[in-house]
Structure 1
Amino acid sequence: MMLPSVVRRWLNRPKKSDPRPLAKFFHIDEEVNAIVNELQCLDVRKDPQNYLVLLSQLHSSQERLLTLLEQILEQCVPTKRRQRDYHLKFPDDIVNNTMTTHLLFAAELIVGGTFVEVEEADGVLLRPLAQKLLRSLEDLRHILREQSLEDPGIYPDAAHKALIEYDNLCAEFELRYMSLVVSVKTPEEIYEQQEVAVLFCETVYRALQQGYLTQEMIDDCEPELMISIPRLAIISGLLIFPDGPLNLQKGSEEMSELFSPFYGLLKKIRELLSILTEGELLSLERALCSASSEDPSVHLSSCLSSAVHSNSSHPDASTPNGQSAPNNKHEDSTQETTEECKKPVTGTDFPTQSLSSSPDDAHDMSQDIKLQHEGKPSEILRNMHFRCTMRRSRFQDVRSRYRSDSDMLHRLFVCIAGVADQLQTNFASDLRVILKTVFEAVSSRQQHDAERTTEDTSRLPDCSVCQILEQQTSRALLVTPEWIPDSASTQCMSCYATFTLLRRRHHCRSCGKIFCSRCSSYSSSLPHVHNSQPVRVCSHCYHVHCSPQDRVTQDAAQHLP
């Protein structure tokens, strides 16, 4: 009874050169089973050194097996997989490619009654789930191994169901086990992190509009963005989105964990930012986006002259000697001040207007506008003129603390860069997660990848039918394929088995490629075959390009020429 099974496995076993995932799975699975059998027959006390070597080999083989299972999951059921949103709760350094291997090893320990990383009571509660996970993995391995002996090019419904069940159990065990091993974030911490991610995204969108960054830099995830984006986000959070995660109206204990340690320094940065002119802010942001190896003082000095020139006509701009620009006529000054005070400084107007007013000034001006409906015009004018005069005085008072405008910008640069660098040091894991989210959201390739359909993932680059379907809108292929000459290939174009006297060449009537009998053991009616008789087709064309009503059962295809 065992002979037919052994013969079938020997005749149908995939070639090691076969690149298809199921064919690779067969050989890795055989390797794992061989190592396990050798370990079971080994006496640990007599040969402990060999035992350790075999354990290392088993770990490596299992890791390759699970990696291949991950590829098969992404190929077969990419849209039906269990969501892993809970990864946001875990520290970034534990979410890696080898985590599944660690989880299955932990499940084996729990089933065996060994509790290493969890308390015994928690392990007892996890044991039923661990048993289901290991049983599901064994069933999946059996189904895929048998299918690799039948046809490594397709995945039947049983394989799909087993893959989905294994994926769901793996995700459930991962969440419950890792929640016991590591400290997970609270919903409030996750929400705060998402707020920071939104701020970073808005910062990048504005930087793209201003020309500080390019879309190519975002798509290529250039390393310098890890430095420039947090720096620019500090300015955006203090000036443009003051109600976001950098809301200084809250106490430091109410702010995001990332920025609360810098509460006092952020208030001083906001004070300086509030008195900058548009040109000065432009110079500062460009300097913050420059390469970290450059000297910021050189960049600021080169930009400052143009910044001062562009803001020399601004009402709040200071002259090079630090004094306010003189007014020749009192009437012009009054009219200019009145018009200025009618423009409240808000985040939505940024940066098309002056930034020489603080948030408190914006509140004062809004009160002035409100008084227009309550007081006399002459009283309103005097009140507004008094407030603007006080604001000018505060503007000059802050600037007088520094030797020059260049010195003020340089110190502001150092403060902002220092906070951003400390974020990289103190919250490296959180910042990596946030920046990864930003790159995924802003990347121009994200939309293209999202538009890929399940059919696209089944297409082969060297299939003539796939290439023609990409260029036409009709699903029916009416063009007779060009057959590849027999002399053009010495091996099957699917499983790469070498042709011999016994292993003959067969052409697929759909794509014209050359296959062995095993890889072209299907038949279907094709649109370009006028007599509508079923003809030989390969496994790929049968499952991807042939319509279900035209397919013929595999038993009826055994007598095809």
Structure 2
Amino acid sequence: ASQPAMLQSLGRKLFLPHRKSGSELLSRYYAADQELVRVAQQIKRLDADKQQDRVSELIGELKECQQRVMKLMLELMNELIPDRRHPKDFRMKFPDEVVQEGLEGQLWYASECLAAGSSILYREVEAESIRPLAIQVTREGEKTRRLLRDEASRSYFGAEPRANRRLLDQLALFDRILAEFELSYVSAMVPVKTMTEMDQLQEVAVLFSETAAWALAGGHIRRDDIDECEPTLMIVLPRLAVLHGLLVHPDGPLSTKDRPASKLCPLFRAFHSHLDRVRSFLGKLKQPDMDRLVRRLCLTESGDATDAEADVDADADRVAGLFKVIAGVADQIQSNYAWELRYLLRCVYNLHCSEAVDEAAASAAAATATLAVEEGLDAFDWQVTDSVQSASTLMATAAATGAEASAVEPPAWVPDSASDVCTNRRCGQAFTITRRRHHCRACGGLFCSACTRARRALPVLGFDSPVRLCDACCVSAAAVNENNGDRA
């Protein structure tokens, strides 16, 4: 029994520290953890009073090491216990600036500071309340690190980490405690929404979604505006949502009938009296005036919610008065509730962009992506080719042979996670919240909106109405459609 232990110790000391370039998660974790231990030991040997600059430099290095170690720990959790990860739905209640990459590493450092006796400036009471949980995070984190180091040594000699029940249980425990500390710590540092506020915000999100569907059907906004995240939607959509909520949903989130201001969603609470007056006047508008009001709300001129009574009571131009109040309410939401508005618009984009509309068809195609074996061909006689070229060849071949549209299946879409940049070689721009991913309906590739502006019908692939195409497939589709026209 002593010989295997000696071999494991030898492997730990001689081999594992030199495997930083290894592909195995555990070996990478071991190297990162050893680096963290080295930096921590250097800090302990320094005199904080005499070497403040060096200590500050090493603390910054320590945070970077903790970030790397925590990132690998999370990857190991996803690899070893994917079904036991603690849910983090509570992050919906956090402001956008809180939920960022590396949050867990920052929480780890904060827990160590609290466990060591530090406090949170101006939040001493909150710091004392979460200190026991911080101590628990630190203690369980050390246990997890120790077990992972030991498992890295064992896996070097062929041991399977999934068979180590103790390690798996410890990873699940640490994940749960870290999530509990995250909720407590963030709640102490920034305002976090209550469940009631989140429910109210969800109701407003439903209203925004229904408003977008109504505006798309009525031609007030275009699908391309949503696909390309047009900035004007930040102005137009909240205005239309106020109008739609007062007209179509008398008992919805904007209802002021028999409802005090305290029961309204915080976004509209300050405008209770304005909404009540606007609702009463909207019922008196004739359809031509209503159409004029909708058209004005789709413009980007500003309104004013402070002169509600004077403007709405003016019989000379009731439409102008209603526009001014509705636009003023919506514009105040944009100014005072920026995070909530981003959340609402994100819900609309996710539900109503072209990608979401075609998601069912795309997911079905991706889930059933198999080799299409044609009659008379060997099932193993296939090769991977460039997706754009294969799509062009597919359309040209189908058009040349006169194949029916139903006989040719469009290619499966490339997953969103496959690329962070536009795959057009002439572009290559990184995807952002404003430069979003779009799929070409012909080749299934990932492109930015600028590289997929073309719209053409593809009957040969089953698309009778114009669909989004990349530049290369647009040229091929034009040639195919021209050939089909000549043949006809």
**Which TM-score tier does this pair reach, normalised by the shorter chain?**
0.5 to 0.7
Whether 1:401 aligns to 2:311 is no
Judged with a 3 Å threshold, the aligned counterparts in structure 2 of structure 1 residues 452 and 47 are, in CA distance, closer, same or farther, namely: farther
What is the alpha-carbon distance in structure 2 between the residues aligned to residue 18 and residue 408 of structure 1? 72
Of 349, 370, 387 in structure 2, the residue corresponding to residue 471 of structure 1 is 370
Distance change in 2, residues 1:11/1:106 (3 Å): closer
How many angstroms apart in 2 are the aligned matches of 1:221 and 1:80? 36
Deviation at 1:169, TM superposition (A): 0.8
Query: In the superposition, relative to structure 1, how do residues 62 and 215 fare at CA in structure 2: closer, same or farther (>3 Å)?
Result: farther
Report if aligned partners of 1:215, 1:443 keep a CA contact under 8 Å in 2.
Answer: yes
Change (3 A) 1:156 1:119: same
Aligned residues of 2:17 and 2:34 also touching (Cα < 8 A): no
**Match of residue 85 from structure 1:** 89
Q: Name the SS for the 1:139 alignment partner.
A: helix
Q: How far apart are 1:73 and its partner, in Å?
A: 3.9
Q: Which residue of 1 aligns with 2:42?
A: 38
- The corresponding residue for 2:423 is none
The aligned counterpart of 1:105 is 109
Contact 1:237 1:245 in 2 (8 A): yes
Q: What is the CA–CA distance in structure 2 between the aligned matches of 1:267 and 1:222, rounded to whole Å?
A: 31
| 8 A Cα contact 1:81 1:167, kept in partner | yes
After superposition, the C-alpha distances for 1:395-440 in whole angstroms (9 at most, x for unaligned) are: xxx89822xxxx6544433332221111011122333333334444
For the pair 1:252 / 2:261, whether they are aligned, the reply is yes
Q: Secondary structure at the match of 2:255?
A: coil
Name 2:57's counterpart in structure 1.
53
CA distance in 2, matches of 1:131, 1:188: 31
Unaligned 5+ runs, structure 2? 304-311, 373-377, 383-488
Q: 2:237 aligns with which of 229, 235, 258?
A: 229
Indicate whether 1:281 and 2:290 are aligned. Answer: yes
- Identify which of structures 1 and 2 has the higher relative contact order when contacts are C-alpha pairs closer than 8 Å and 6+ apart: 1
CA gap 1:256/1:180 in 2 versus in 1, 3 angstroms? same
Partner of 2:331: 421
Matching of residues 435-446 of structure 1 within 5 Å: 435-442=345-352
Quick check: 200-209 or 420-429, which moved more?
Answer: 200-209
1:17–1:426 distance in 2 versus 1, CA, 3 Å: same
Structure 1 equivalent of residue 375 of structure 2: none
CA distance in 2, matches of 1:76, 1:448: 30
**1:167 to partner: Cα distance:** 1.5
Q: How does 1:445-460 map to 2 (within 5 A)?
A: none
CA contact (8 A) 2:223 2:353 kept: yes
Are the equivalent residues in 1 in contact too, given 2:302–2:327 (CA < 8 A)? no
Q: Count how many residue pairs are aligned between Structure 1 and Structure 2.
A: 360
> Is 1:296–1:410's contact at 8 Å kept on the other side of the alignment?
no
1:172 aligns with 2:71: no
Distance of aligned partners of 1:79 and 1:438 in 2 relative to their CA distance in 1, 3 Å threshold: farther
| Alpha-carbon distance change, 271 to 21 in structure 1, aligned in 2, over 3 angstroms | farther
From the superposition, tell whether residues 237 and 135 of structure 1 become closer, same or farther in structure 2 (CA, over 3 Å).
same
Give the Cα–Cα distance (whole angstroms) in 1 for the partners of residues 23 and 298 of structure 2: 45
* Partners of 2:159 and 2:278 in 1: CA distance: 62
- Percent sequence identity is 32
Residue 50 of structure 1: how far off its partner (Å): 0.7
> Which residue of the other structure, out of 169, 176, 183, is the alignment partner of 1:161?
169
**Alpha-carbon offset, residue 155 of structure 1:** 5.4
Q: What corresponds to 2:275 in structure 1? A: 266
Q: Distance in 1 between matches of 2:287 and 2:29?
A: 62
Aligned residue type for 2:267: L
CA distance in 2, matches of 1:34, 1:76: 27
Matches within 5 A, 1:373-412: 401-402=315-316, 408-412=318-322
Aligned CA distance change for structure 1 residues 435 and 274 (closer, same or farther; 3 Å)? same
Retained in 1: the 8 A contact 2:247–2:279? yes
Q: Using the TM superposition, give the Cα deviation of residue 6 of structure 1 relative to its aligned residue in structure 2, in angstroms.
A: 4.6
The CA distance in 1 between the partners of 2:87 and 2:74, in whole Å, is 14
Q: How far apart are the structure 2 equivalents of 1:296 and 1:115?
A: 46
**What is the one-letter code of the residue matched to 2:139?**
R
CA distance 1:135–1:234, change in 2 (3 Å): same
| Equivalent residues of 1:13, 1:148 under 8 A apart | no
**Aligned counterparts of 1:213 and 1:88: Cα–Cα separation in 2:** 28
1:191 equivalenced with 2:199 (yes/no)? yes
Q: Which has the larger radius of gyration?
A: 1
- Counterpart check, 1:132 vs 2:141: no
Cα distance in 1 for partners of 2:129, 2:188 equals 12
Mapped to 2, the partners of 1:411 and 1:195 lie a distance apart of: 27
Contact 2:70/2:105 (<8 A) preserved: yes
Residue identity opposite 1:83 in structure 2: P
TM-score (norm 2): 0.60
Aligned in 2, Cα 1:413/1:74: closer, same or farther, shift over 3 Å?
farther
Tell me if the contact between 2:234 and 2:345 (Cα under 8 Å) persists in the aligned partners: yes
- Whether the 8 Å contact between 2:302 and 2:328 is mirrored in structure 1 is no
Task: Give 1:238 shift.
Answer: 0.6
Q: What stretches of structure 1 of length at least 5 have no aligned partner?
A: 298-397, 457-468, 483-561
Give the counterpart of 2:32 among 2, 17, 28.
Answer: 28
CA distance, structure 2, for counterparts of residue 52 and residue 433 of structure 1: 38
Q: TM-score, normalised by structure 1?
A: 0.53
Aligned-residue CA RMSD (Å)? 4.3
Go from structure 1 to structure 2 and tell me whether the alpha carbon gap of 1:26 and 1:195 turns closer, same or farther (over 3 Å shift): same
d(CA) in 2 for partners of 1:104 and 1:114? 14
Q: Check conservation: 2:236, 2:298, Cα contact below 8 A.
A: yes
Give the conservation status (yes or no) of the 8 Å contact 2:80–2:162. no
**Of 318, 340, 345, which aligns to 1:430?**
340
- Assess, with a 3 A threshold, how the Cα gap between structure 1 residues 205 and 414 changes in structure 2: closer, same or farther: same
Residue pair 1:200, 1:438 contacting (<8 A) in 2 also: yes
Residues 67 and 437 of structure 1: is their aligned pair in 2 closer, same or farther, counting only changes over 3 Å?
A: farther
One-letter code aligned to 1:51: V
SS of alignment partner, residue 84 of structure 2: coil
Is the CA contact (8 Å cut-off) linking 2:25 and 2:76 kept in structure 1? yes
Q: Give me the whole-angstrom Cα distance separating, in 2, the residues matched to 1:254 and 1:218.
A: 31
- 2:100 partner SS: coil
